[in-house]
Amino acid sequence: MPQMRHVGSPSKGNVVEVRPSRKFGGAWLAFESEAVQPAFTGRYARQHAIDYAKQRFGGGAGEVRVFTESGDAIAETFAINGRDLYPHAS
């Protein structure tokens, strides 16, 4: 089972899930809701989806959950505290 890595402090707020697309092979989704789930393709698709998800909070608190390549488990989470949009691991 993948090890979960937490960055920042736990948050209460919106959640964006970054996960592989089942519909578009090789693409990664930044899933906010059924109506909002942009897909990213290419060599850096996963990282682009993570970057997109991190900036979606607009100064508010939330959490980004990044799933494994298979999409069956959370590989890492990023807590967004509203003041630091891109928290760094300590």
86 — pLDDT class (breaks 50, 70, 90): low
> How does pLDDT run across 38-81, given as a tens digit for each residue?
999 999 999 999 999 988 887 788 899 999 999 999 999 998 88
- pLDDT band for position 4 (cuts 50, 70, 90): very low
DSSP string for residues in the chain: -PPPEEES----SEEEEEEE-SSSTT-EEEESBTTB--EE-STTHHHHHHHHHHHTTTTS-EEEEEE-TTSSSEEEEEEE-SS-SS----
CA of 79: how far to CAs of 7, 13, 51, 67, in Å?
6, 10, 13, 15
pTM above 0.85, yes or no: no
User: In whole numbers, what is the pLDDT of the chain averaged over residues?
Assistant: 81
Better pLDDT: 2 or 13: 13
Tell me how far apart the alpha carbons of residues 9 and 89 are, in angstroms, rounded to a whole number: 11
Higher pLDDT: 2 or 50? It is 50
